[in-house]
Amino acid sequence: MTKDKGQTLKVIQIGNSILRQTAQPVENFAAASLQQLIDDLIDTAIASHGVGIAAPQVAQSYRLFIVSSHPNPRYPDAPLMPPTPMLNPEILSHSQTIVEGSEGCLSVPGKRGLVPRYQEIEVAYRDRDGNLHRQVFTDFIARIIQHELDHLNGILFCDRVAPLGDRAVEFKDSQN
Ligand code: K3U
Ligand code: ZN
């Protein structure tokens, strides 16, 4: 049997000021501490059954996250994407189309909300070896990336939850 490379880390919760910081770019891709953090983030995402996790969520304020998509009861059509580290990611361009979808966050336990996101994005990022990638993502994967990129800029999904507007429910018999 192979030995696990990583360990699970404590995920910090809303209210911790680290989640509101702008994270620092990764510079030394060869650092053993960076490679260990990537392994630990992957193990933490898997153990938490999340579809992604960002370094600031484990109190490491670096521009790094993991995308780890799999079909699940909430998103039965979610594509399978093995845990993929993205370092120093940037959105190069995006669709005009914005779609609303349900999101949760390991740092905001027990809450979900409808969040508007670009349906398609073109992203530049470096992999764990420092190689540059430029790739287009759509739908659920694009949503995960935008959610995780927000974490690198101190933004939580609850900051973006769509107002109900015209969809607000009116209770005819309400006294208020
Ligand atoms: O919403 C969650 C989920 C878990 C399994 C399958 C499908 C959804 C858990 S929260 C989650 O995975 C966040 C991860 C976070 F908080 F660390 F960033 C990512 C996410 C969930 C839903 C939409 C977009 C991003
Ligand atoms: Zn989150």
Give the pLDDT mean for 5-9. Answer: 89
Which of 9, 12, 43, 51 for a ligand 1 pocket mutation test, highest count of atoms within 8 Å of Cβ?
A: 51
Looking at every residue in the chain, the average pLDDT score rounds to 92
Closest Cα to atom 12, ligand 1: which residue?
A: 50
Domain 17-173 sits in CATH 3.90.45.10: yes
Closest Cα to atom 9, ligand 1: which residue?
A: 50
Determine the Cα–Cα distance for residues 131 and 143; give it in Å rounded to an integer: 23
Determine the Cα–Cα distance for residues 94 and 69; give it in Å rounded to an integer: 21
> Burial level of 23, CB count in 10 A (0-12/13-18/19+)?
buried
Give the pLDDT mean for 24-40. Answer: 97
15: CB partners within 8 A, 6+ apart: none
Point out the residues that are catalytic: 148
Helical segments of the chain, H only? 32-48, 139-152
The tens digit of pLDDT for each residue in 86-97 reads 999 999 999 999
Helical segments of 85-170, H only? 139-152
CA angle 52, 105, 162 (to 5 degrees): 115
